[in-house]
């Protein structure tokens, strides 16, 4: 996984007298944290530090789970800095036997919110009070999109993030957002039920009302209006989460992040060696075209990234597949497997009752 250099650096740090427990923790990451190990230790009780540790751990857990399924491939680990403040770690696997493209990114950025980004937030009801037109912010998150080669293995996306803004009077506004969703090329009801049940269990630990609320939000959010269909079969999605308390919101996000591997990896294992036809591969390419359309036209996270000064375009567009296809006025035959998935994308189902 490209961890050799990082492990040597961690060993050197340990030799300088850092705590043994920290050393073990650091070696689980894909690269050194953006904020630095000393700084994270210094403010380890602050939620910002705990969230950064969570996204680092989530990145490493997911990367290792994916690499175990595609042993002939490896993740390129790319640490980058942002001139305006902060940086990130991009981990990308390409052209493996199982995964055509799998990216798991961490970003921890800070600076001044751009006018475009502030306008986008105000359109969602955020009453942000700037001082001399400036709004200091801090944003961090882990984001992943996984595009398998086999059309019987679904694409999966997840993202969990924390945002903090300091207003003119020094007041800090904060919120969490995120979600996990599945985009199959072909419908497999057992997979859909497993995926949704796993996410429901994570939500139910905190409040039985959360899963139905965030499941509907996911179906509504990942809607390709100009096609009249959803991007996939959903999952959960939420944004602007700032209640019931910061600690409770963080614990909910942690439960959701920990559900990523168990909700998806069993599906990959089940289907990664399934046989498929050229026609099924073609349908996968067409469905990926829809994925690209949603991300570039509607996705709020993509838009925010593109509007943020100093943002890293390579990491933002990691969500796009290596290959996709668009055919003019393509319509699958009635009663076909291709038509079956379209029916679900146009009319979302309840998978857990």
Inter-residue contact 185 to 341 (CB < 8 Å): yes
Determine the angle formed by the axes of helices 260-271 and 246-258, rounding to 10 degrees: 10
Domains of the chain: 44-346 (3.40.1500.10)
Inter-residue contact 318 to 103 (CB < 8 Å): yes
Cα of 71 vs its chain's centroid, Å: 23
To the nearest 10°, report the CA torsion of 222, 349, 330, 320.
30
Inter-residue contact 144 to 103 (CB < 8 Å): yes
Exposure of 217 in the CB half-sphere (CA atoms within 13 A) = 16
Helices (H), 205-277: 210-221, 246-258, 260-271
Model pLDDT, residue 112: 81
Q: Write the CA distances from 40 to 18, 30, 57, 258, 299, integer angstroms.
A: 13, 16, 14, 21, 31
Q: How far is residue 277's CA from residue 314's CA, in Å, rounded to a whole number?
A: 32
Model pLDDT, residue 172: 81
At 222 the three-state DSSP class reads: coil
Instruction: State the burial class of residue 215 (Cβ atoms within 10 Å of its Cβ: 0-12, 13-18, 19+).
Output: buried
What is this structure's pTM? Answer: 0.89
Model pLDDT, residue 310: 74
Other CB atoms within 10 Å distance of the CB of residue 320: 18
- pLDDT per residue, tens digit, the chain (353 aa), is 444 544 555 554 444 445 555 666 667 899 999 988 888 888 888 899 999 999 999 999 999 999 999 988 899 999 999 888 899 999 999 999 999 999 999 999 988 876 666 666 666 666 666 666 678 888 999 999 999 999 999 999 999 999 988 877 777 889 999 999 999 999 999 999 999 999 999 999 999 999 999 999 999 999 999 999 999 999 999 999 999 999 999 999 999 999 999 999 999 999 999 999 999 999 999 999 999 999 999 998 888 778 777 778 888 888 899 999 999 999 999 999 999 999 999 999 999 98
Beta pairing class for 76-81 and 86-94: antiparallel
Other CB atoms within 10 Å distance of the CB of residue 337: 14
Cα dihedral across residues 295, 300, 306, 312: positive or negative: negative
Determine the angle formed by the axes of helices 189-204 and 210-221, rounding to 10 degrees: 130
Instruction: State the burial class of residue 254 (Cβ atoms within 10 Å of its Cβ: 0-12, 13-18, 19+).
Output: middle
Model pLDDT, residue 173: 84
Model pLDDT, residue 3: 46
Other CB atoms within 10 Å distance of the CB of residue 44: 11
353 carries an active-site annotation: no
The string over 141-175, giving b where at least 16 C-beta atoms fall within 10 Å of a residue's C-beta and e elsewhere, is: bbbbbbbbbbbbbbbbbbbbbbbbbbeeeeeebeb
**If we measure between CA atoms, which residue out of 160, 20, 17, 35 comes closest to residue 88?**
35
Exposure of 73 in the CB half-sphere (CA atoms within 13 A) = 25
Nearest-5° Cα angle at 102, 341 to 79: 150
Q: What is the pLDDT of residues 200-249, one digit of tens each?
A: 999 999 999 999 999 999 999 999 999 999 999 999 999 999 999 999 99
Model pLDDT, residue 134: 74
Catalytic residue among 147, 152, 157, 196: 157
């Amino acid at each position: 996984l490209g961890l050799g250099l990082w492990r040597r650096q961690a060993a050197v740090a340990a030799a300088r007298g850092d705590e043994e427990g920290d050393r073990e923790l650091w070696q689980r990451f894909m690269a050194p944290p953006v904020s630095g190990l000393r700084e994270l230790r210094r403010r380890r009780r602050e939620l910002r530090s705990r969230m950064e540790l969570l996204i680092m751990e989530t990145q490493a857990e997911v990367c290792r789970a994916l690499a175990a399924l595609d042993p002939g491939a490896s993740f390129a680990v790319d640490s980058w800095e942002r001139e305006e403040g902060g940086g990130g770690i991009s981990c990308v696997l390409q052209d493996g036997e199982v995964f055509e493209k799998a990216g798991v990114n961490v970003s921890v950025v800070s600076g001044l919110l751009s006018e475009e980004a502030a306008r986008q937030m105000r359109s969602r009801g955020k009453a942000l009070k700037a001082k001399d037109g400036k709004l200091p912010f801090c944003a961090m998150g882990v984001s992943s999109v996984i595009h398998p080669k086999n059309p019987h293995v679904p694409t999966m996306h997840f993202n969990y993030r924390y945002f903090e803004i300091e207003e003119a009077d020094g007041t800090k506004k904060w919120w969490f957002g995120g979600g996990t969703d599945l985009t199959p090329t072909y419908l497999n009801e057992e997979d859909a039920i497993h995926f949704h049940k796993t996410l429901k269990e994570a939500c139910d630990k905190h409040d039985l009302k959360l899963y139905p609320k965030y499941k509907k939000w996911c179906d509504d959010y990942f809607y390709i209006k100009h096609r009249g269909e959803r991007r996939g079969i959903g999952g959960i999605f939420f944004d602007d989460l700032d209640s019931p308390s910061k600690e409770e919101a963080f614990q909910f996000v942690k439960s959701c992040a920990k559900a990523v591997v168990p909700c998806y990896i069993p599906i990959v294992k089940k289907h990664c060696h399934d046989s498929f036809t050229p026609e099924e591969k073609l349908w996968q390419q067409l469905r990926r075209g829809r994925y690209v359309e949603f991300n570039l036209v509607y996705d709020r996270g993509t838009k925010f990234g593109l509007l943020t000064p100093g943002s890293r375009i390579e990491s933002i567009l990691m969500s796009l597949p290596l290959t996709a296809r668009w055919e003019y006025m393509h319509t699958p035959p009635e009663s076909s497997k291709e038509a079956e998935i379209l029916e679900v994308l146009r009319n979302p189902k309840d998978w857990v009752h």
